C-alpha cells in the first residue's frame, strides 16, 4: 500500500522506552517501505514521557528546524534526595532534611530561574565532551567537566507543592535540561533534589494531546492507523513563511541552484521571516528551506539554501 511517507508523526512516548525504541517500532510499522529513513527530533530520556516527533523520509531533514521552537514540560522534583543522574534512574549520592517550605516561598525562589539563565548540562547526557558523549564517560566513572551554557526559560509555573515533591510547568528554549533546572532549584531551596517525572507536552505548535500513543506502533494494524496521522512536510513547519515558485525554478533549486531574491520577486521583512528562515514551495511540495541574511534591519540582502527536498 502506498501513501504519503515524507513528513512527521506525533508520538506520545511511554516511560521506560528509549527514543530509539520508538524509532525502531515506527520503522517496523512501515514495513511496506523497508528502505524508509526514520528518525526523531529531540531525545527524551527513558524515564520521561510525552511528545516525541518521529521523522519520516524527507522529514528527517527537518529536525533542527522543529527543535528550534519553544518546548513545554510538566516536571516533578523530589527534594531532599540527590542522584548522580539527576533523575530516578541514578544512584543516590546525598540526602538531606527538607525545610518546611511554603508554596509562596517556592514560587518566590522559582522566579530566579525565569529568563536567560546559566546552566550546566547533566554529566549523564548526550552532550559531547572531547568528542565522546558525556554519559559514556560518566558511566565509566570518568570526570566530565561540561561548560555552562545560556538557555532561556520563558515561564516557570509551580503547579503543586506536596513536600518533598514539587510539580512545575516549564516553557523553555532548545538546549534546556529540566534535570539540571530541577537540581539547581532544589539547591536554591536549601536542599538537594532530583527529577522524579518529566513529561514533554509541546514542541513549538505541536502538542502531545494530538499525539498517538507509542503502543499503537506495535499493533498489527499500525500502518493503517498511522496513514492518516502523517503530517506532510509543508504542515510540519506551520510558522515558517513560504514563497511559491514555478516548476522550472523548483527543478533548478533541487539540482543545486541558489535563487536570488529578485528571482523570487519578494521584498522580505524581518516581520515575515521570524528566525530568518523561509520555505520554498512549488504547489504543495516543499522544495527547500532558505536562510536569509538581514541588511541593517530593513530587509534581506541575500539568501542561502539550508536544505533541499526531493
Q: Under DSSP, is residue 49 helix (H, G, I), strand (E, B) or coil?
A: strand
Note every long-range contact of 216-225, with CB atoms under 8 Å and residues 24 or more positions apart, other chains counting.
Answer: 217/11, 217/22, 217/25, 217/26, 217/28, 217/29, 218/25, 222/29, 223/1, 223/29, 223/30, 223/31, 223/32
Catalytic residue chosen out of the listed positions 6, 45, 87, 184: 45
| Max Cα–Cα distance, the chain, nearest Å | 70
- For 133, 176, 180, 205, the CA distances from 147, given in Å and listed in that order, are 14, 14, 13, 30
Task: Give burial (CB, 10 Å; 0-12/13-18/19+) of 265.
Answer: exposed
Task: Give burial (CB, 10 Å; 0-12/13-18/19+) of 96.
Answer: middle
- Whole-number Å distance between alpha carbons of 155 and 80: 24
Q: Under DSSP, is residue 251 helix (H, G, I), strand (E, B) or coil?
A: helix
C-alpha cell at 30: 512501515
Q: Is 45 a catalytic residue?
A: yes
Is cis: bond before 164, omega within 30 of 0?
Answer: yes
- Whole-number Å distance between alpha carbons of 194 and 184: 9
- The answer to whether 62 and 279 are in contact (CB under 8 A) is no
The phi and psi torsions of 106 (rounded to 5 degrees) equal -65, -45
Query: Which residue in 237, 227, 234 sits closest to 281, CA to CA?
Result: 234
Catalytic positions: 45
Amino acid at each position: 500500500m502506498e501513501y504519503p511517507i515524507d513528513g512527521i508523526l506525533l508520538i506520545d512516548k511511554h516511560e521506560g522506552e528509549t527514543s530509539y525504541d520508538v524509532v525502531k517500532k515506527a520503522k517496523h510499522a512501515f514495513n511496506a517501505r523497508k528502505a524508509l529513513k526514520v528518525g526523531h527530533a529531540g531525545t527524551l530520556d527513558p524515564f520521561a514521557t510525552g511528545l516525541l516527533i518521529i521523522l519520516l523520509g524527507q522529514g528527517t531533514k527537518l529536525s533542527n528546524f522543529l527543535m528550534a521552537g519553544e518546548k513545554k514540560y510538566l516536571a516533578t522534583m523530589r527534594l531532599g534526595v540527590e542522584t548522580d543522574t539527576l533523575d530516578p534512574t541514578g544512584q543516590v549520592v546525598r540526602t538531606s532534611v527538607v525545610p518546611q517550605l511554603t508554596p509562596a516561598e517556592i514560587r518566590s525562589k522559582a522566579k530566579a530561574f525565569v529568563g536567560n539563565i546559566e546552566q550546566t548540562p547533566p554529566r549523564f547526557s548526550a552532550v559531547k565532551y572531547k568528542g565522546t558523549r558525556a554519559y559514556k564517560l560518566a558511566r565509566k566513572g570518568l570526570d566530565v567537566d561540561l561548560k555552562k551554557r545560556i538557555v532561556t526559560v520563558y515561564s516557570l509555573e509551580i503547579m503543586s507543592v506536596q513536600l518533598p515533591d514539587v510539580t512545575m510547568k516549564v516553557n523553555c528554549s532548545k538546549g534546556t535540561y529540566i534535570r539540571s533546572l530541577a537540581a539547581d532549584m532544589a539547591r536554591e531551596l536549601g536542599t538537594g533534589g532530583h527529577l522524579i517525572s518529566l513529561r514533554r507536552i509541546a514542541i513549538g505548535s505541536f502538542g502531545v494531546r494530538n499525539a498517538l500513543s507509542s503502543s499503537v506502533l506495535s499493533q498489527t494494524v499500525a500502518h493503517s492507523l498511522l496513514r492518516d496521522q502523517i503530517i506532510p512536510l509543508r504542515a510540519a513547519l506551520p510558522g515558517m513563511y513560504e514563497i511559491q515558485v514555478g516548476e522550472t525554478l523548483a527543478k533548478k533549486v533541487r539540482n543545486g541552484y541558489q535563487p536570488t531574491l529578485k528571482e523570487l520577486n519578494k521584498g522580505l521583512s524581518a516581520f515575515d521571516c521570524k528566525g530568518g528562515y523561509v520555505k520554498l514551495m512549488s504547489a504543495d511540495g516543499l522544495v527547500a528551506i532558505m536562510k536569509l541574511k538581514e541588511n541593517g534591519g530593513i530587509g534581506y540582502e541575500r539568501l542561502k539554501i539550508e536544505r533541499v527536498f526531493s
